[in-house]
Structure 1
Amino acid sequence: MNTIAKIVSLIALSAVIVPCLLYFGGTIDLATVKWTALAGTIGWFLATPMWMSRELPKDAAEVEI
């Protein structure tokens, strides 16, 4: 599961970066860049916390925030 989340996260990050570079090169139009970057951003924010989460300290259940 951790490896799959990392792969999805990398693909989503690529979906943000690659269209911007293609637009800079004049290959695709701005509307395509906006929608692809939006989808990549949403995908990245959904996938990345799955593998970047951290272990909470043992006494975290006793601390009230």
Structure 2
Amino acid sequence: MTPIVKLISLVSLAAVMLPCLGYFLGLVGLDAVKWTALAGTIVWFIATPMWMSRDLPVDAGEVEI
């Protein structure tokens, strides 16, 4: 599952960056950039923690902060 989630994360990051570059070059309208970047941001924040999370040590439940 991790390779699939990494791919989704990468595609969503591209969905944030590429339309901005397209707008800079005059290829894409501003409304399309806003909606694509919003959708890419939401998907990125959902997908990325799934593969970047780390396992906590065994005794982490015993530590009081």
TM-score bracket, normalised by the shorter chain, equals: over 0.9
Match of 2:64 in 1: 64
Match of 2:32 in 1: 32
TM-score (structure 1 length as normaliser): 0.95
- Which runs of no fewer than 5 residues in structure 2 stay unpaired? none
Deviation at 1:31, TM superposition (A): 0.6
Q: CA RMSD in A?
A: 0.8
Q: How far apart are the structure 1 equivalents of 2:24 and 2:64? A: 49
- Which runs of no fewer than 5 residues in structure 1 stay unpaired? none
TM-score (structure 2 length as normaliser): 0.95
Match of 1:9 in 2: 9
Deviation at 1:32, TM superposition (A): 0.5
